[in-house]
Structure 1
């Protein structure tokens, strides 16, 4: 009778879009988790940077694995990469997508602008045609490539190219914010441990001896 009631799928979906307690609380929790990671500050910084950078790519559904792989190549902390990849969430992804696709289309000379709705609709259409082509292996239907080709040239490639610059900038900023944050936390933790050990020594003022 005291077991926690499992949340419904609608509640889980709602928490993804807007976490319980708000996004500010979620951000504070992530910062808290990052600085408490038991690793060198530089490795934690590289892990966070890897997760942040991968969030600026169009590899939806593979951001987590991509961040882990990139952190491993960079010899960064893997858990920090997971936390860093959370920068790509339902609130930030529309802004990242519009910025990356717009910049990429400009760099590649592709005319036209894109809105978040158009970009997401293109991903949905391409995913549907990809599934259709996969199922055609088994049911004999004819594979179609028109939407996938248009998606690759108009959305995916510009997104991939355009996300490199803002991704590198964001990763660098987060790296240089993370390292001193973790270093300060570790230094204060060592100071607390040293004070606790000092107060526990025989003859110390807090030990109670000599009273």
Structure 2
């Protein structure tokens, strides 16, 4: 297939490159930056798409951030490809601070308590929720009794506070990224248009110069022939 990798990666390599990409996060950031700046769309739509992607990074729908970003970009008439690139804001280096901010904000808005141990036990609650899903799926086809205790704790203490608490920080981060990226994209696109215009002007000038050379040669030969005929 044309779009398949030649060097197939193992699951361990895929997981390691998700945590630390090949070439480092700096190279990955510059790659995303250049891809966003070269999008063929207006600066406003691209900036709105970036804001939608950043907002999606503050939602608890891990694994579905691309879908959330695309839907948000569609709702605000933003560039969908820019929104997908904007989800890069959420990465293994920022997931922990984003999660802490969202959980703290969510518990504050809901009037519940946020304990520091909640972040330490987050993976345990997530694992219990996944275990409940697996066991209850098996219970549908066996005589095992379904138990939603772990999933209920995860929903009440993690998912719902995260969902509510991620709205305000997500909107704030999205607005900041929108207003920061908009002038940068405008400047880059204008500079790129100027370079393309200068290149075409240079090509046009060279073409006119080449076209003028045969004309001048023809005029010179005509004048020399007239002088020769006059001498005769």
TM-score (norm 1): 0.90
Measure, in 1, the Cα distance between the counterparts of 2:208 and 2:119: 64
CA RMSD of aligned residues (A): 2.2
2:56 match: 54
Q: State which of 161, 164, 167 in structure 2 corresponds to 1:164.
A: 167
1:149 match: 152
Greater CA deviation, 74-83 or 105-114?
105-114
Aligned length: 209
Gaps of 5+ in 2: 217-232
1:88 paired to 2:90: yes
Per-residue CA deviations over 1:111-143 (Å, capped at 9, x if unaligned) read 242454422221221122123223322223222
Structure 1 or 2: more helix by fraction = 2
Alpha-carbon distance change, 112 to 201 in structure 1, aligned in 2, over 3 angstroms: closer
TM-score (norm 2): 0.82
Cα drift, residue 189 of structure 1: 1.3
Alpha-carbon distance change, 198 to 103 in structure 1, aligned in 2, over 3 angstroms: same
Gaps of 5+ in 1: none
Q: Which has the bigger relative contact order, CA under 8 A and spacing at least 6? A: 1
Cα drift, residue 77 of structure 1: 0.7
2:194 match: 191
1:180 paired to 2:179: no
SS in 2 for 1:105: helix
SS in 2 for 1:174: helix
Measure, in 1, the Cα distance between the counterparts of 2:161 and 2:178: 26
SS in 2 for 1:138: coil
CA contact (8 A) 1:56 1:96 kept: yes
Greater CA deviation, 62-71 or 131-140?
131-140
CA contact (8 A) 1:198 1:204 kept: no
Greater CA deviation, 141-150 or 15-24?
141-150
| Structure 1 outlier segments of 4+, above 3 Å | 114-117, 202-211
CA contact (8 A) 1:55 1:63 kept: yes
